[in-house]
Amino acid sequence: MSIYKKVLGTEFYRLHPMLQKRYGFSNNKPFHATGVMKTIKKGPIFLYPIYWLGTKWKLLYPEHGSNIPFTILNTPKIGANGEEQIHWERIFYFRSKKRYFNALMSFDAERNLIKDYLGEPSVLYSDLAFTVSTNGELKIESRKQRFVIGRFEFPLPRIFQGLATVTEKYIEDNEVFHVKVEVKNPMFGLIFMYEGEFSNNDLE
């Protein structure tokens, strides 16, 4: 059973049918799609050294703009500890540069949430809470976060956290998925945001 089915339980079946297919991972088949980010925004200029540093871990990047092509690949796998995982690879194509926003997710049955390790190798951890709206949209919100150094993890005070809100829906008229991601800090405000659409021809 998909980790997203596990975390949502019966709520999973309130998702739009195309989102159920997207997050169901039947037969452990990867989900691959292409699309365009209508807008990608960044935070204050003094955060740009962090964005540049983030490129080394396929986590953050300093570029921004409009109508940026991108691809997304979600690949089911089994971790070294035997747990089911979903690897997320998001690539944004800024002319001659490719920028990444990668993560590895798994299910925490005791706390009924998704564990999200961000970057490669992972440098940030976040608890993720999944909910379904009344109109079948998926909402993801980050909770507690930790800084990761090798095998060691240290709780991040809220003042240093980048708290994410993700909404994803399916637009039937255009037959596309729509996603919006906002990451904000309690003190600095917006860290980054992207919004766009993508499609996968393998889903029916």
> What tens digit of pLDDT does each residue of 85-100 get?
999 999 999 998 999 9
Residues 6+ apart with CB under 8 A from 134: none
Q: What is the topology classification, in CATH, of domain 3-199?
A: Lipocalin (2.40.128)
Q: Phi and psi dihedrals of 144, rounded to 5?
A: -65, 145
Please report, for the chain, the start and end positions of each structural domain, with discontinuous segments joined by +: 3-199
Other C-beta atoms within 10 Å of 75: how many? 16
In DSSP terms, which residues pair with 107 in a beta bridge? 114
Q: What's the pLDDT at 15?
A: 98
Residue (of 71, 93, 76) closest to 199 by Cα position: 71
Instruction: Give the pLDDT confidence of 139-192 residue by residue, as tens digits.
Output: 999 999 999 999 999 999 999 999 999 999 999 999 999 999 999 999 999 999
Provide the percentage of residues in the chain whose pLDDT is more than 90: 90
Mean pLDDT over 126-134 rounds to 97
Whether the per-residue pLDDT at 27 is higher than 90: the answer is: no
Distance, in Å, from the CA atom of 67 to the CA atom of 84, rounded to the nearest integer, reads 34
Q: What's the pLDDT at 81?
A: 86
Helix, strand, coil % in the chain, rounded to nearest 5: 20, 55, 30
Instruction: Give the pLDDT confidence of 29-82 residue by residue, as tens digits.
Output: 999 999 999 999 999 999 999 999 999 999 999 999 999 999 999 999 998 888
**pLDDT band at residue 204, thresholds of 50, 70 and 90?**
low
